[in-house]
């Protein structure tokens, strides 16, 4: 059989003079589909290519731009990634074909970026692919936004394809439920007990550090149901936040106590919160500073004082607050001079009483 290879010519559509100055940071690479999947034939489907070897489907190749283009890195632009995956959901290859992440600013080279990417082949997308757990950040320590977004691009794109081709079970389209609009006054303790507020407690011991105390005591939950949001934020702040949501959008609140911080300082420069994200139905949502409002206290009766807090708007209509989602915290900390990352994931499921019957 004649070997077909697709040499795709890169497209450079950046005409604006502004971005021309970014050339210094820009990296664009030629690629062919077989770079990420060993196959002798590729057939284009809707959002991916099927890869064939000896007439048999052996996997899928896809471009992140077509799947997770809304995920943008430190540069404010998407890192275009070519990804290969076998029929079991194992990543067979990853190649970043365009990025303008200014990693040079923190003394990193392209080689570091490539080393980070090399970790993916062989990993199954059925595993959580969490940074600091399944994926080490050692190669690009410091470029936390780049790492987090790149990881979300790979995992998000792969899972989207995996659920299309049946490797992952696609969510059965149930009748969409509605959030209850009822307001009932609830105390902090009640909200916690009901599961409207989820708690993630990271101790020094969890991090392998000395100390018997809690390193980070984190609380999060959905803002929109009035019995949660209004009790947590108080009426004025709740009204303010709700006024900022477009139709179909949601928001979460996150509060932290203790020495550790869920906000960190990365968002000051890059505008992206690099320590946490949420994931639902194989889609990762990251948060930007323009969708964040600072909250410095919890209004609910009996709530503890907090060290930091915020409301983060989940933009777009893809997120469904009536369905469960995962909150992942990737916490950097230091052991001596070494920077280490550790990930924690908590599932949030809106309790029945905040849904309409």
Interface residues with another protein (CB under 8 A) are: 16-19, 21-22, 76, 102, 105-106, 187-189, 192, 199, 201, 213-214, 217, 233-237, 240, 243, 257-259, 268-271, 289-290, 294-299, 301-308
In this structure, the number of other CB atoms found within 10 A of the CB of residue 98 comes to: 20
CB atoms within 10 A of CB 56: 9
Distance CA 277, CA 261 (A): 14
Those residues whose C-beta lies under 8 Å from the C-beta of residue 343, and which sit 6 or more positions away, are 128, 130, 131, 132, 133, 328, 329, 330, 331
- Closest to another protein by CB, 179 or 197: 197
The least distance separating another protein from the CB of residue 16, rounded to whole angstroms, comes to 6
Nearest in space to 82 (alpha carbons), one of 133, 7, 136, 22: 7
Supply φ then ψ for residue 313, to 5 degrees: -85, 130
For the CB of residue 65, give the shortest distance to another protein in the complex, in Å: 21
Residue number with CB closer to another protein (62 or 333): 333
Alpha carbons 143 and 250: distance in angstroms, whole number: 28
CB 137 within 8 A of CB 145: no
What span, in angstroms and rounded, lies between the C-alpha atoms of 162 and 167? 5
Q: Nearest distance from residue 289's CB to another protein, in Å?
A: 5
Nearer to another protein, 62 or 113 (CB): 113
Query: Which residue lies nearer to another protein by CB, 59 or 310?
Result: 310
In angstroms, what is the minimal distance from the CB of 312 to another protein? 14
Which residue reads 């505008």 in tokens?
Answer: 271
Q: Which is nearer to another protein, 177 or 257 (CB)?
A: 257
Among 59, 116, 125, residue whose Cα is nearest residue 86: 59
Shortest Cβ 343–another protein spacing (Å): 22
Cβ proximity to another protein, 110 vs 190, nearer residue: 190
Work out how close the CB of 134 gets to another protein at its nearest, in angstroms, rounded to a whole number: 30
């Amino acid at each position: 059989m004649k070997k077909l290879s697709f040499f795709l010519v890169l497209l450079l559509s950046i005409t604006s003079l502004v971005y021309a100055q970014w050339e210094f940071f820009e990296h664009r690479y030629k690629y062919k589909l077989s770079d990420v999947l060993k196959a002798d034939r590729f057939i284009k489907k809707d959002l991916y290519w099927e890869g064939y070897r000896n007439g048999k489907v052996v996997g899928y190749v896809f471009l992140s731009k077509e799947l997770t283009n809304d995920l943008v890195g430190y540069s404010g632009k998407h890192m275009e990634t070519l990804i290969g995956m076998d029929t079991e959901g194992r990543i067979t290859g990853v190649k970043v074909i365009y990025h303008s992440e200014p990693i040079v600013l923190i003394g990193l080279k392209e080689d570091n970026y490539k080393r980070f990417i090399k970790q993916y082949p062989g990993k199954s997308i059925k595993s959580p692919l969490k940074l600091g757990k399944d994926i080490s950040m050692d190669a690009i320590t410091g470029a936390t936004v780049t790492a987090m977004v790149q990881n979300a691009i790979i995992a998000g794109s792969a899972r989207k394809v995996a659920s299309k081709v049946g490797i992952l079970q696609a969510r059965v389209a149930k009748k969409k439920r509605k959030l209850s609009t009822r307001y009932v006054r609830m105390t902090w303790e009640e909200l916690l007990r009901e599961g409207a507020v989820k708690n993630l407690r990271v101790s020094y011991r969890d991090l392998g550090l000395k100390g018997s105390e809690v390193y980070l005591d984190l609380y999060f939950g959905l803002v929109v149901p009035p019995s949660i949001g209004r009790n947590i934020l108080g009426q004025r702040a709740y009204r303010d936040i709700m006024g900022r949501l477009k139709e179909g959008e949601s928001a979460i609140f996150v509060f932290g106590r203790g020495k550790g911080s869920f906000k960190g300082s990365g968002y000051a420069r890059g505008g992206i919160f690099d320590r946490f994200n949420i994931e639902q139905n194989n889609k990762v949502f990251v948060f930007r500073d323009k969708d964040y409002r600072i909250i410095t206290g919890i209004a609910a009766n009996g709530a503890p004082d907090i060290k930091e807090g915020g409301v983060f708007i989940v933009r777009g209509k893809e997120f469904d607050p009536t369905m469960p989602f995962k909150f992942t915290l990737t916490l950097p900390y230091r052991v001596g001079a070494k920077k280490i990352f550790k990930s924690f994931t908590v599932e949030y499921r809106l309790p029945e009483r905040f849904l309409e019957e």
